[in-house]
Amino acid sequence: MKTKFNYGLIRFLMLVLITFSFSNASAQEKTKKQLKEEAKLEKQKKVALLVDSKEFVFSPRSVSPQGGRSITLTDVSYSMEFHPDLIKSYLPFFGRGYGGIGYGGDSGMDFEGKPTVYTIEKTKKSYLIKAEVKGERDSYSIMLSVYFEGNAYLSINSNNRSSISYDGDIKAIEKK
């Protein structure tokens, strides 16, 4: 008695086996959306660590003087360094100077000093950092909004100048 071999059943089983092996491999791969979300969460963790350390650098990309147009900055050396016991500012200033500021006598928002106020508050969309610093010739009220993705908005008010704001981002202080 001869038995007939069922090739159709073998083909079907092979097809099922191959389908499961490929679907299992592709299920382990992450989609672009998942990878993007993971990168976003990683960036948010880094920003949170920087803000919590209270030591970071704000690097501006553009400046907006009071009542003026936004100016894109090409010089990457501008910055404001934040430490709990010292704030150093090397930022450009475009705007009006009041009493005590003479032509050519001042080079911008360049100052450093120990903050008399340094607070950090977490809101729904950002961290709000407030600081007050007395420089040699002026006192400064600083408000920095750091968004969870690392973008930041800095606003500075002083006694002898019109207010000014900067758009940029924060990063870790480079060790020298």
In a domain, 116, yes or no: yes
In a domain, 61, yes or no: yes
pLDDT, position 23: 55
Task: Count the alpha carbons within 13 Å of 138 in the hemisphere toward its beta carbon.
Answer: 22
- In the chain, DSSP finds a helix count (H) and a strand count (E) of 2, 10
In a domain, 111, yes or no: yes
* DSSP calls for 149-165: TSEEEEEEEESSB--EE
Counted domains in the chain: 1
**Closest residue by Cα to residue 163 from 126, 138, 146:** 138
- 110 touches 91 (CB < 8 A): yes
Residue 27 has pLDDT above 70, yes or no: no
Residue-range definition of the domain harbouring residue 143:
35-171
Residue 149 has pLDDT above 90, yes or no: no
Q: How sure is the predictor about 105, in pLDDT bands with cuts at 50, 70 and 90?
A: low
**Closest residue by Cα to residue 84 from 60, 49, 119:** 119
In a domain, 154, yes or no: yes
CATH code for the domain in which residue 69 is found:
2.40.128.410
Residue 118 has pLDDT above 80, yes or no: yes
pLDDT, position 109: 85
In a domain, 27, yes or no: no
In a domain, 47, yes or no: yes
Cα–Cα distance measured from residue 114 to residue 87, given in angstroms and rounded to the nearest whole number:
6
The string of pLDDT tens digits covering residues 5-22 is: 566 767 777 776 676 666
* 57 backbone dihedrals φ, ψ, rounded to 5°: -120, 135
Task: Count the alpha carbons within 13 Å of 53 in the hemisphere toward its beta carbon.
Answer: 15
pLDDT, position 100: 58
In a domain, 138, yes or no: yes
Q: How sure is the predictor about 3, in pLDDT bands with cuts at 50, 70 and 90?
A: low
The string of pLDDT tens digits covering residues 57-90 is: 999 999 998 877 888 888 888 999 999 899 999 9
pLDDT, position 70: 87
In a domain, 11, yes or no: no
CA angle 126, 156, 41 (to 5 degrees): 20
Q: What is the mean pLDDT of the chain?
A: 83
Q: How sure is the predictor about 135, in pLDDT bands with cuts at 50, 70 and 90?
A: confident
CB atoms within 10 A of CB 93: 19
